[in-house]
Amino acid sequence: MKSHITSTSGQVEEPKRFRRVLTRWDLVLYGLVMLTPTAPYPVFGIVQNLSGGHAALAYVVAMVAMFFTAASYGKMAAAYPSAGSTYTYARKGLNEHVGFLAGWAMILDYFLIPLLSVIYAALTAARLLPAVPDWVWAAVFTVSITLVNLRGIQVTARASAWLMALMTGCALIFLALAGRYVVAAHGWAGLMDTRGFFRPETFASGPMLLGAGVATLSYIGFDAISTLAEDALNPRRDIGWATVAVCIAQGLICIATVYLAALVWPDYTAFPQVDTAILDIGSRIGGQWMFGALTFVLLVAGLASALTGQAGASRLLLGMGRDEVISKRVFGTIDPKHSTPVRGLMVMAAVTLVGSLVFRFQLAVELLNFGALSGFILVNLSVVRHYYVRLRQRAGWQAVEHLVFPLVGAAVCGFLWLNLTNKAKLAGFGWLALGVAYLAINTRGFRLAPKTMESFEEDASHAG
């Protein structure tokens, strides 16, 4: 596909779409890098404590919950293969105004994913080299990931492959050393100890669900695959498949990791520091070199997530910019040379750099959950409206696929959303209030629909 066209006046015009270059496995790789195989490391101690020693079971529940939402993203990507992702699905599936608010909520989410990753990477690097301030590391990391993304999605995919190899290598070493430690202490039968999943003396559904709520952090970001619908060779077939595959693969990785970690350190009340429990487990199974390796790989994971998060965010903004619900001049254009939304990437870089200086990590995490779960609920409801109500696809298995699954996904996400902290809700609703005010001005008091580009979306939905 050509990256640009020449007008009758001889001027080169900006392309109206991305080049389709990503295969199904590129999409899977992108999603796994976005989530990272080391995702349970930072939250293992917290989940294990909240769930009363049932971290592995909490991750099973979280995987099942996210599976329904992943399936909904796949269904809507098949109907509307657009870079707008959550925004487009809610706008098409529900209505224009709800779609805008869904996109507005997800802007918060997509801004925070690279921001959080850069903050965490900077804090980790500052621990390794305390003489260098963390704000310097934040600036270096922000500039680095932006330069990679400006080179185009294929360069991002290649860089992601190298980062994924490093993270996967460390994750496999951790699993091997943890398994060896358990076998040495308890024999091969120790690997099948059911107490790694269930402890009847401490089990309670409430604490376990609280742990599952935190465990969902390890899955948030799988929806970013749908933002690459216009980069994919066959979006109708591959986006949904890759989204579900990534959700399941991530779940299996997380479950295996926290199960073995729980067997290595059975007394979850005795962690020296809950937030860094995985580092203490690393020291137990491999000594100081494993402690250092885990610290390094957490740094790599932060950079990988920031890289892919920035790419996904710029494409969500592109979808909204082309519809002119946010500035088309800033967000709605594609660079003809590298097929990248350059201006959107630069805005993302500025937000990440400034945010890393003023945001506290804990509040950013809570706001990330608010934006993500809000978008997940609306996408699930969009499946019901589009397929079950509008298209009347209700026969046999279709009723399960288009009504039961998305309603279960919406209900689970709603439960987790209601259990966010009051601080997160206050800040999140404040962001949504700004979105409502902006929408009111944009639509003259909600009398008009937000501007759209129907012809482009119809063309994109038939591509591939």
Please list, residue by residue across 315-331, b when 16 or more beta carbons sit within 10 angstroms of its beta carbon and e when fewer do: bbbbbbbbbbbbebeeb
pLDDT in tens, 421-454: 777 788 888 888 888 888 888 777 767 666 543 3
Domain boundaries of the chain, sorted by first residue: 21-454
Cβ atoms < 10 Å from Cβ of 461:
18
pLDDT averaged over the chain? 77
Going by DSSP bridges, is the β-strand pair 12-13/5-6 parallel, antiparallel, or unpaired?
antiparallel
pLDDT in tens, 50-84: 888 889 999 998 888 888 888 888 888 778 776 55
C-alpha–C-alpha distance, residues 416 and 393, integer Å: 29
Amino acid 154: pLDDT: 59
C-alpha–C-alpha distance, residues 219 and 70, integer Å: 10
- 5 phi and psi angles, rounded to 5 deg: -130, 160
Amino acid 373: pLDDT: 82
Lowest mean pLDDT among 85-94, 311-320, 402-411: 311-320
Select the highest-mean-pLDDT range: 130-144, 181-195, 327-341.
181-195
Tokens of 21: 């270059």
**Would you say 113 and 305 are in contact if contact means Cβ atoms under 8 Å apart?**
yes
For the chain, the straight-line distance linking the first and the last C-alpha, in angstroms and rounded, comes to: 11
Q: Residue 258 is which amino acid? A: V
Q: Is the pTM of this model over 0.75?
A: no
C-alpha–C-alpha distance, residues 289 and 363, integer Å: 32
**Would you say 227 and 85 are in contact if contact means Cβ atoms under 8 Å apart?**
yes
> What is the pLDDT confidence band of residue 4, given thresholds at 50, 70 and 90?
very low
Q: How far is CA 355 from CA 113, 136, 316, in A?
A: 11, 13, 19
List of residues 6+ apart from 75 with CB closer than 8 A: 240, 383, 387, 401, 402, 406
Cβ atoms < 10 Å from Cβ of 353:
18
Asked whether the predicted pLDDT for residue 5 surpasses 80, the reply is: no
- 389 phi and psi angles, rounded to 5 deg: -90, -55
Which helix (H) or strand (E) segment is 351 a member of?
Answer: helix 342-358
C-alpha–C-alpha distance, residues 50 and 255, integer Å: 16
> What is the pLDDT confidence band of residue 383, given thresholds at 50, 70 and 90?
very high
pLDDT in tens, 326-339: 677 777 677 666 66
Asked whether the predicted pLDDT for residue 6 surpasses 50, the reply is: no
Q: Which CATH architecture has domain 21-454?
A: Up-down Bundle (1.20)
Tokens of 270: 């005795």
